[in-house]
Structure 1
Amino acid sequence: MAQIRLAASAAVLAAVTMSVVPSPLKSQASAQDRVLSIGGSVTEIVYALKQEHRLIARDTTSSFPAEVMDLPDVGYMRALSPEGVLSVGPNLIISEDGAGPQETIDALEAVSIPFITVPDGYSAEGVIEKIRVVGRALDVDAAAAVLADEIANGFEQAAENLKKVDDPKRVLFILSTQGGRILASGTETAAHGIIEMAGGINAITSFTGYKPLTDEAVALAAPDVILMMDRMGDHQTDTDELFAMPALVPTPAAREKAIVRMNGLYLLGFGPRTAQAALDLNTALYGQ
């Protein structure tokens, strides 16, 4: 049994585990009937496969479709606690890559709960692979094959429409402006993938992942459009305040007040709705 490294006491974990971990004598079919889905795209795929009746809980990033919000929430996928996960009594966990912390994953593996990791891929092929992995985990391979074909056709149709882009725009995806610093997307991110899929050019390609930019780096990137998640309340950056930031003032995007905001899961989830999200972003960038 793997060593469990937890901030919580071993006694608390043991008590929760004793109350919720099922008997190993239960069948695999039975074990698949109490599914915890972690990650918005994974949850969307479960619904698209019409297997939502098997879900008993979800994580905070799982917000679509609307009815999933009625399920218990075990917390943010990168900050899960073993007690929170075990309290809902899952017999199968299907998770996007990147769930954690590792101590929690170790704890779940130690109590022998099947934990299926779905690889991330910021492309049409990546979405198709997600569908196949989730279908295999739920033992509905045939339904997953049908859904994969439908989604693949959607991506092909989207690609045909995107061929019409003659003068691609430079797009800067800004994750946040906390503390007056622009945290932006480089390559190998969902933002980079959706920008390219929509017929745009990522304005930042000098690094991978998300990093803060200097004012000079933003000016040199010369974005035509700013892309951001559509946030609520205090998390939203006011458009006028955004374009008044010294880093953005000299950019074409600021001169034109060109900004696109989209729902974060829809834009960056890389799930069943991604082909349509790419088309919507394309329309937002270039018009009808």
Structure 2
Amino acid sequence: MKYCLLLTSLVLTIASGVAEAAERLLTIGGSVTEVVYALGRGDEIVATDITSYYPEQTNKLPKIGYMRTLSAEGLLSMSPTLIIADAGAGPVNVLDQIRSAGVKVIQLKEGHTPAQVATNIRFIGQQLNAANTEKVAAQYEAAWQAAEAKIAALKTNPRVLFVLDHTGKSPQAAGNETAADALIKLANATNVMSGLFNGYKPLTAESIVAASPDVIITTSEAIQASGGIDTFLNKPGLALTPAGKAKRVVSYDSLYLLGFTPRLPNAVSDLATAIRKQ
């Protein structure tokens, strides 16, 4: 009888320890959320932001708003014990308030490179004590090496323009130091706005026509918000370019295209192939 009571007590103690070890995890940024799921720890997530919509099961989780306009009240209402945020999450003062409330907040470093994705996998895996971290990171790195070799064999170098316009009313072109510019370079293509400016700038008909892109890249959200490709191409100058005249437009969802997630090898490979088929 004493043995049974001792065994029961031991089991309860172990179970209590496991329960205490499990985090109430809040992920901010679609790329962060994807990594957590890739590590097999998605069941620890209690809430995400609205940029987190892959894999499909993330859409069943509570949303705490947009990653760049967070509120302390919204975050704390989910009673998190750990928050892992993308580099662009903020405002900074809100994240500082959360830290002051005693919640551990970890933020990724900025970077749009294949190597940074591997770093993010290892960093997040370390925070979650995920035993399969190195395996997942190595699989990603092998996939990128295969994609890189495939892309290197492509002979043409398309001149492309990336247009960002999630509302359908404020189109902007991607210049240097953007995720879009990094993606274009990884696809062995030329950004027609490279060297002209940094970040995103509003489209002007004159600059777009002068740039004369062979292909236009955008997001599926931009096409949907515009009401279709034909309406999308009515934006300033686009219809007058070689790409616009031939309706050479390539689009993917923004997280897949710009998120620099573990799916990056597939995203870059798909893009590199698509812009050469047009």
- Look up the equivalent residue of 1:143 and give its one-letter code: N
Aligned residues: 262
- What does 1:217-256 align with in structure 2 at a 5 Å threshold? 217-231=207-221, 235-256=225-246
Change (3 A) 1:246 1:107: closer
Change (3 A) 1:186 1:117: same
Larger Rg: 2
Change (3 A) 1:248 1:177: farther
* Mapped partners of 1:212, 1:136: distance in 2: 40
Which consecutive residues of structure 2, in runs of 5 or more, have no partner in the other structure?
A: 1-15
CA contact 1:32–1:138 (8 Å) conserved in 2: no
CA contact 2:165–2:222 (8 Å) conserved in 1: no
Structure 2 residue 18 is the aligned partner of structure 1 residue 35? no
Change (3 A) 1:191 1:109: same
Q: 1:253-275 CA distances to partner (integer Å, 9 max, x unpaired)?
A: 01211001101111111011010
* Mapped partners of 1:100, 1:248: distance in 2: 34
Structure 1 range deviating more: 38-47 or 189-198: 189-198
- Please state how far the C-alpha of 1:236 moved relative to its aligned partner: 3.3
Report SS of the residue matched to 1:115.
Answer: strand
- Please state how far the C-alpha of 1:224 moved relative to its aligned partner: 0.8
- Please state how far the C-alpha of 1:68 moved relative to its aligned partner: 1.0
- Please state how far the C-alpha of 1:237 moved relative to its aligned partner: 4.7
- Look up the equivalent residue of 1:185 and give its one-letter code: A
Q: 1:96-122 CA distances to partner (integer Å, 9 max, x unpaired)?
A: 011112231121011121100012321
TM-score (structure 1 length as normaliser): 0.84
Q: 1:23-65 CA distances to partner (integer Å, 9 max, x unpaired)?
A: xxx9898365110011001100000000112111111101000
Partner residue, 2:7: none
Partner residue, 2:276: 286
* Mapped partners of 1:134, 1:146: distance in 2: 13
CA contact 2:47–2:62 (8 Å) conserved in 1: yes
* Mapped partners of 1:84, 1:56: distance in 2: 13
* Mapped partners of 1:149, 1:177: distance in 2: 34
* Mapped partners of 2:128, 2:156: distance in 1: 44
CA contact 1:31–1:91 (8 Å) conserved in 2: no
* Mapped partners of 1:217, 1:232: distance in 2: 20
- What does 1:1-288 align with in structure 2 at a 5 Å threshold? 30=20, 33-140=23-130, 142-176=131-165, 182-205=171-194, 206-231=196-221, 235-287=225-277
- Look up the equivalent residue of 1:102 and give its one-letter code: V
Change (3 A) 1:163 1:70: same
- Normalized per residue, the structure richer in helix is 2
* Mapped partners of 1:63, 1:246: distance in 2: 31
- Please state how far the C-alpha of 1:250 moved relative to its aligned partner: 2.9
Structure 1 range deviating more: 35-44 or 211-220: 211-220
Which consecutive residues of structure 1, in runs of 5 or more, have no partner in the other structure?
A: 1-25
TM-score (structure 2 length as normaliser): 0.87
Change (3 A) 1:287 1:98: same
Give percent identity, aligned residues only: 39
* Mapped partners of 1:191, 1:118: distance in 2: 19
* Mapped partners of 2:222, 2:113: distance in 1: 28
Report SS of the residue matched to 2:58.
Answer: helix
RMSD over aligned Cα, in angstroms?
A: 2.3
Runs of 4+ in 1 over 6 A off after TM superposition: 26-29, 177-180
- Look up the equivalent residue of 1:93 and give its one-letter code: I
Q: 1:206-261 CA distances to partner (integer Å, 9 max, x unpaired)?
A: 11111113222112221111111102896235322333344123311012110011
* Mapped partners of 2:216, 2:277: distance in 1: 16
- Please state how far the C-alpha of 1:178 moved relative to its aligned partner: 6.2
- Look up the equivalent residue of 2:150 and give its one-letter code: N
* Mapped partners of 1:177, 1:51: distance in 2: 30
Structure 1 range deviating more: 71-80 or 182-191: 182-191
CA contact 2:221–2:253 (8 Å) conserved in 1: yes
Report SS of the residue matched to 2:221.
Answer: coil
- Look up the equivalent residue of 2:87 and give its one-letter code: D
* Mapped partners of 2:181, 2:149: distance in 1: 20
